[in-house]
Chain A
Amino acid sequence: MHELSIAENILEIVESYRRERNFTRCSSITLRLGLLSAVDEESLRFAFEALTEGGPYAQAALKVQRTYPKATCSCGRSFEVRDFCYACPECGSVTAELTGGDDLNIVQLEVD
């Protein structure tokens, strides 16, 4: 639901690096987006395109690295969680301990 303001925040951060590093063109922005971040990638791309259209970042590609939580089950099995509804492939338990997968970061800019 707040993808628009997250897209605004991306541009604020890129702009602050532009002032600091004095680059003229940004060709790509890489984000890390976790399953648990509650951000919808498609909505974020839509918002980003709407905000950058016709502006200095119109050519910047938004690259998204998806991350997923790691589940550690009480039976000892560890596995990656790809969906909110999951079950341990070993014992079927749905109450594993989840770690990670909540990233919402900018990790890299490619600039000239």
Chain B
Amino acid sequence: MVTIRVKDKLLSKNDQYALANQEIFDRHGLWCVNLIGAPGSGKTLLIERTVDCFSGKLNIGVLVGDLDTENDARRIAGHGVPVRQIITGGACHLNAKTIGEFLPHFDLERLDVLIIENVGNLVCPASYFLGEHDRVTLVSTPEGDDKPLKYPGAMHTSDVLLITKLDLVPYTDFSLDRARKNALKIESSLLVMAISAKTGEGLEAWKDWFESHAREKKSQNKP
């Protein structure tokens, strides 16, 4: 019997594809952000508001994942940005290989930002790295302020928790303070923001965060 001491990092196939995607993003000075959240948490409306805010300032492309229909892509395309719909045909998350296959559909040299709208689900998308630079988890106020505790994987792997639908707080028992504390219990470095895409409340802070990350990536690669 011989003992071989080794030190090999294990990577899933998905992570290998994800790192290849990130290399492509970095080469083009493109900032990629992955939005995850339950169905109906407000991902598509957030994208619509965001691309409107940066119209003429940042070139944004959008990849939208859904089990079926091109409804979301049509909604977003109405705002004048390049968008592609990935229909997963039943799969509950996007994977890095599929993202890589869709990248040639975009003029990456021209783009500053790629937004990925993941399939509505807070479980599986959390464990699939797509090569994004930042991950944002959306939790809407009607989902309850204990949601961060129920989905620790999503909290732990995210950079931002974005609480959405602030305008509905008066109709629910949701406490912003409790939600924030619950999220920080899981991941103390999480940045917590709260918005209403409908009324515009809190959107300034979101826009500032978004723009500063996009500009930082651009300045690293496109001096």
Chain A residues proximal to chain B, CB less than 8 Å: 1-2, 5-6, 8-10, 13, 17, 21, 23, 27, 31, 36, 38, 84-85, 87, 94-98, 104-112
Q: How far is the CB of A1 from chain B (nearest CB, A)?
A: 4
| With contact pairs A2-B127, A107-B5 given, residues A94 and B12 touching in the complex (Cβ less than 8 Å) | no
Interface residues of B (CB under 8 A from A): 1-15, 93, 124, 126-128, 149, 152-153, 156-157, 181, 184-186, 188
Question: Is the CB–CB distance between A111 and B184 below 8 Å?
Answer: no
> Judging by beta carbons under 8 Å apart, are B186 and A84 in contact?
yes
Apart from A2-B15, A17-B4, A38-B127, what are 14 other A-B pairs with CB-CB below 8 Å?
A: A1-B93, A5-B14, A13-B6, A21-B2, A31-B10, A38-B126, A104-B11, A106-B8, A107-B7, A108-B4, A108-B6, A109-B4, A110-B3, A111-B3
Q: State the Cβ distance, A78 to closest chain B Cβ, in Å.
A: 15
Task: Contact check, A9 vs B10: say whether CB atoms are below 8 A apart.
Answer: yes
Closest 9 CB pairs of A and B: A95-B188, A2-B12, A5-B13, A1-B127, A5-B12, A84-B152, A94-B185, A109-B4, A104-B10
Q: Given A1-B124, A2-B13 in contact, is the A94-B2 Cβ separation under 8 Å?
A: no
Determine the distance from Cα of A29 to Cα of B7 in the docked complex, in whole angstroms: 12
Q: Which residue of B lies closest to A4 (CB)?
A: B12
